[in-house]
C-alpha cells in the first residue's frame, strides 16, 4: 500500500472507531495516526536490514506519542490504537487485521525465549485498557481481553478473557461465568473463587459442628 493510500486508510479507520474525531484534520493530531505512519517507514527499514535507522524512527515516534512499536513487529491492516499512551508492541509480535488496542496495553515477552517471544493476535481482536499479553502464543480471531487482565497462555477464537491471570469467561457466544465484556461490567473470577471458597468453608464448618454434636450424644448414651 502506497503512502497516500496509507494516509487515507488511517483516516478512515480512526474516524470509524473514534466518535471524538470530528474532522479529517483532527486525525493528523491523533497519536495512533502518527505512530502508524512512523511504523510503516521503520518496518520497511527493518526488513532491509537498516536496524539503527529503523529504531531511530520508531523511538522518535515513541517519544512523541507514548506508543512504542518495535519496527520488527508485523502489523496487519486497520490497527486502531485508542488514546494509546503506554502501549508497547514487541519485536516478534504479530497483529492481524482490524485489531483494536486501548491505552496501556503490552504485547510483551517473558525475556527468556529466543526467536518468537511475543504474542500473536488474530483478526478482529480487542485488547482493553491496561491489559498485558505476555509470551509467545496466539489470541484467536474475534476474541476480547478485559481491562487490566494479564494473559499468559493461548486463547481460542471467539472468546472473552478477564482477570489476573486471564481466564476465559465466554466462548463461541456461550457464557462460562457471567456477562460479556463491555469494558465496564466485567466478570470478577477472583471474587467468584473467593465466594466459592467461603461457601465450601462454611459447609465444612457446619459439618464439623454436626459431627461434634453426634459425638457428644454418643458419649452421653454410653
What is the reported pLDDT for 114? 77
CATH architecture of 3-186: 3 Solenoid (2.160)
pLDDT in tens, 48-95: 999 999 999 999 999 999 999 999 999 999 999 988 889 999 999 999
CB 96 within 8 A of CB 125: yes
Average pLDDT over residues 29-44: 90
What is the reported pLDDT for 39? 93
Q: How confident is the model at residue 193 (pLDDT cuts 50, 70, 90)?
A: confident
What is the reported pLDDT for 7? 82
Q: Please indicate whether residue 92 or residue 166 has the higher confidence score (pLDDT).
A: 92
pLDDT in tens, 94-117: 999 999 999 999 999 887 777 889
Query: Would the pTM of this model clear 0.85, i.e. be above it?
Result: no
Amino acid at each position: 500500500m502506497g503512502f497516500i493510500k496509507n494516509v487515507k486508510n488511517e483516516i478512515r479507520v480512526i474516524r470509524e472507531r473514534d466518535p471524538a474525531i470530528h474532522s479529517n484534520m483532527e486525525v493528523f493530531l491523533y497519536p495512533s495516526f502518527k505512530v502508524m505512519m512512523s511504523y510503516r517507514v521503520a518496518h520497511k527499514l527493518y526488513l532491509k536490514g537498516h536496524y539503527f535507522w529503523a529504531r531511530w524512527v520508531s523511538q522518535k515516534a515513541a517519544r512523541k506519542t507514548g506508543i512504542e512499536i518495535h519496527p520488527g513487529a508485523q502489523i496487519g491492516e486497520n490497527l486502531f490504537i485508542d488514546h494509546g499512551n503506554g502501549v508497547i508492541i514487541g519485536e516478534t509480535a504479530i497483529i492481524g487485521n482490524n485489531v483494536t488496542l486501548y491505552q496501556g496495553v503490552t504485547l510483551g515477552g517473558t525475556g527468556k525465549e529466543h526467536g518468537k517471544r511475543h504474542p500473536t493476535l488474530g483478526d478482529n481482536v480487542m485488547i482493553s485498557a491496561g491489559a498485558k499479553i505476555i509470551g509467545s502464543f496466539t489470541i484467536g480471531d474475534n476474541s476480547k481481553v478485559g481491562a487490566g487482565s494479564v494473559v499468559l497462555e493461548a486463547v481460542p477464537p471467539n472468546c472473552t478473557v478477564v482477570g489476573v491471570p486471564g481466564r476465559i469467561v465466554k466462548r463461541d457466544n456461550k457464557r462460562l461465568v457471567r456477562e460479556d465484556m463491555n469494558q465496564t461490567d466485567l466478570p470478577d473470577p477472583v471474587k467468584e473463587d473467593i465466594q466459592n471458597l467461603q461457601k465450601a468453608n462454611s459447609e465444612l464448618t457446619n459439618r464439623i459442628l454436626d459431627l461434634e454434636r453426634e459425638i457428644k450424644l454418643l458419649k452421653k448414651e454410653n
